Amino acid sequence: MRQGFLTIAWRDLLRFVRFRALLFSSLVQPALWMAFFGIAMSASFDRLAPVGVAPGGLPSVNYLTFMAAGVIGMTSLFVSFYGGIVILFDRNWGLMREIMASPIPRGDIIAGIGLSVVAKSILQATLILIFGLLLGAGFFPGTTPLTGIAAYLGVMLFVAVFSFGFLCLSAAISITLESPEGLQGVITLLTMPIFFLSNALYPVDAFPPVLQALSVINPLTHLVNGIRFFAIGEDFFAVGETYHLTAIDTATSLLVLVLFAALMYGIARWRFAVARVT
């Protein structure tokens, strides 16, 4: 593994740790989402669709457990999208010019920042899982310590591939734009449709056909499906709907995320190859 790749990742992680306000907010934000949004929404949805006897004897899952997977997906989306802003700051401060003038391949710059963002996403996803368990979320039901570790690693695999893909998209946008305000505007424009056209907080079966089709190709939907498969189970009943998540469906979702990440990495490399940083 090339030294430049690790150097870029280590530099970004050091900056993340040393900026204590950023570190503190990044660690506390997932807990706040689960504590306030999760509990409040759980109380509302459980009143509309109370947890009871599920059809066919399936395990019945409360809304807190159901939406916690969506919170992990939402957090990974925001962390990876905003991870690219470091490229824009380095460009405006003149540091990106020095990095690109060095012998480090431009693909390594993207991959190094991607590794850093993946580490941050995994950290926040782990905190959400832990805090969700403390609040009463039914993660990893009926697992032994060994199968629980395997399920946790499955969740983190999905989080890692998803985060890397959206970091590459963010990097391609960041190296093209010149102002942080422009990047924030583009991120806001993209994140809202991606988030609300997914199954993160509610079932998508009631969507109009066009929105259902968009949900199927939404990477966030595939991330949430993978998280629920490993953290909740293959078959369960939640929010008035029956869910059957097979291993084949989960492998398909992972393949979609891998293809998405590969496509975004190719676009990011192309944008870095033609970028002129002064």
Split at pLDDT 50, 70, 90, the class of 1 is very low
| Packing angle of the helix pair 247-274, 106-135 (nearest 10 deg) | 140
Judged against a pLDDT cut of 70, whether residue 164 lies above it is answered with yes
As a whole number of angstroms, the distance between CA 176 and CA 196 comes to 27
As a whole number of angstroms, the distance between CA 87 and CA 170 comes to 9
**CA-based nearest residue to 167, from 187, 137, 189:** 187
pLDDT score at 219: 96
Please write the tens of the pLDDT for every residue from 209-244: 898 899 999 999 999 999 999 999 888 887 778 888
Give the mean pLDDT of 188-199.
89
Give 154's DSSP letter: H
- Residue that wins the pLDDT comparison between 86 and 197: 197
Please write the tens of the pLDDT for every residue from 63-113: 888 888 888 998 899 889 888 788 877 777 767 777 777 777 878 888 888
As a whole number of angstroms, the distance between CA 193 and CA 214 comes to 10
- CA torsion sign for 118, 119, 122, 123 is negative
Q: Which are the contacts of 60, defined by CB distance < 8 A and separation ≥ 6?
A: 51, 52, 53, 54, 236, 237, 238
The whole-model pTM stands at: 0.89
CA 116 to chain centre: 14
pLDDT score at 32: 77
Strands 241-244 and 235-238: antiparallel
As a whole number of angstroms, the distance between CA 215 and CA 234 comes to 20
Stated as kind and residue range, the H or E segment containing 49 is none
